[in-house]
Structure 1
Amino acid sequence: MSPAEELRARYVDDLRRDGLLGEDLVRAFATVPREEFLATGFDGGGGRWVGPADPDFLPLVYRNHPLVTKVVDGVPVSSSSQPSLMAAMIESLELRPGSRVLEIGAGTGYNAALMAVLGARVTSIDIAPDVVERAAAALRRVGLAHAVEVRSGDGYLGGAALAPYDRVVVTVGVTGVSPRWLDQLAPGGHLLAPVEHAGNHPVLRIRPGGPGMGEARGALRAGFMSAAGPLAARYPGLHPAPRRTDTLPPPTVRHPPLWHPPLDVFRYHDLWFAVGAWDRRATFSPGPAGGWGGPGGCLLLDEAHGGGAGLLADGSVRASGPSAARYAAEALALRDRWVARGQPQISDWSARLVPAGDPDQPILVPTAWVQH
């Protein structure tokens, strides 16, 4: 067994422990060489670009981590997603041999390759020609070009030429869903898309809901790079953009933890989703800063006056600004409401999707969320 094969075997074992269940999907991860899709390297952190010649290339490739593969002006714009998230999304697609899949966002081509090994016929669309070229080359190297067609194009438009599709999967964070994707679904099909909510991009399972409408159900906790163009349109009622705590006044109000130990990352995101479902001020506050605690998290942002209230994974609250006491009380009330409602998960929520954004290029966005 080669070093790459040994590392891949350990990697698959790690994914099994993280919930990789279906034997066909296990086989796909064990079969497809991820390193072939990272041949041009990736960001290793600290300003270092890691390539195949580096001794730690393969050990870094075979970890359950996302890897940034393209940076423009210091901003990551393309990546190989976290493998456990890929696995969860592919499982949620419920693919069968012969399933026709439209993928929005080609990335490295690795995700499409995994779906192809499961027997899917994949059309992958990406707006960046260099990303398309690299993904197509990797698919040729691993012998899967016959099952995946990678095309340059505007993801908003989908892939009408090869429609209909049994599934659509979106691998970039969007503020809303293109109605073209729903139009291109075959009867009984559904799409998965990471739709912005409270500063995150949880994955929603979406089906057509009548002319120009959709029906969404929460599916997976996730975070993605954001799209550009109409798929990133801001609209009235959208949660505020993420705000770093170091741009806010120092907290002046503190309430102690509720949970010992804190909620794990999955349950915390369930709480966070509920807060966002109930309160449009909720967003993401990245990065620790003086007095706020934690590595960042859920924030009720006071856009009018500055400050707001942070709700941490242990249930504690920090608040700042001229309305700190009121914001802290409201954050506590939302936390306690989640507890009283039985601590619902992301999958316990649904919403109708209605048009918003540019009338000439509308996106479908969630309205009021309903807990089931």
Structure 2
Amino acid sequence: MRTSIIFIIISTLFLLQACKQDLGYKEPSINDGVKPAPVYDVSVRNLPGKAALTYALPADKNLLYVKAVYKMSNGKEAETKSSYYSNSLTVEGFADTLSHEVKLYSVSRGEISSDPVTVTIKPLEAPIFTVLKNVKIVNAFGGYNLATINPDTSDIALLILKKNDFNEYEVDNKRSIYTNQNTISAQIRGLDTVASTVRYFIRDRWGNTTDTAVAAVKPLFEQEIPPTTFKDFTMPGDGVQALNGLTHVYYMWDNRYNYPFISFTNQAASGPGPNIVTFDMGVSAKLSRIWIRPYPEGSRWYYLTTMKRFEFWGSEQPNPNGALDDTWHLLGSYEVIKPSGLPYGTDNALDVATASAGFNWEIDINAPKVRYIRIRCLENFAGGTAQSVAELKPYGDLR
């Protein structure tokens, strides 16, 4: 036994000594001073405001990345890098369709650059000009509607100008739009009904800008429809109010926001189809929009029985049988988008702030004057068709 223990100890010492020996492995040098070979077979694909470059990589184990060096339209030098795992890169930041030189370099692990390979690009029209050319501004109640397209989904700013205290134009951040969506729209409200001009221009994330454009606007007259003449006008087929009769349609205009002072249909009693509520404004009006404040269940959970997809219908003289026939006009179809995108039952601070401010729903400007309003819920955030509304305010022109 003693001999075996001694043998084990000696063997262990021998292995430890062997581990300390230099087995001849060397880390590869990353600063050998050797200039890498350049890329080759470069091809160019010109795109709006940019160009995509594809190339072949040199067979160099010390290659780390490829970089492109160029000047943007604003004269500033820019640099784009792509690792050796890729054989392409994109140069961006151009606001013209002129020819530009781009120098491509292979770069080693020791940060040594190859000789440059120079290529010429000629970008297509930059996205900011496409956005500008497609801007449409239309007079609306209390302001104007602005719409355009951004087909390249570029990061752009549509900047609205205003006069400051020194009678100089500056950016109006409250009315300007910052987005990368492919369709852009805004509803500007709170303006006087006098003729004026809107000045605006487009800027990209590199600071390139278009010229300033001017549009003439003359907002249509708009006022809140006074609720003093409103009344419940429940019709055949309308939803049954929930919670043992504690909730009522007329609570939608009582300026109280919490349970039980809400309109809340009972899903079981109303059935699985779209739940409808109807009310009479008592006056005829050309409606511009309807503001709705959702009901905050549990004091803050807005996206539960809040309507997700719904419709407004209007009539001057509805059929008493409750049918949505030709005595009714579809005023608009709408969808509430939860800002955070969080799952059902989870609201963040932005969700709460957005819902508590209420939603403004634009009415089709071609719709006729109406007196009776129906709200038809197609889907709520809980997956049913029951609807809950804490408060409602129609706007338009009574004249």
| TM-score (ref. length: structure 1) | 0.23
Higher relative contact order (CA 8 A, sep 6+): 2
Q: Structure 1 or 2: larger helix share?
A: 1
Q: Could you say which structure has the larger radius of gyration? A: 2
Structure number having the greater strand percentage: 2
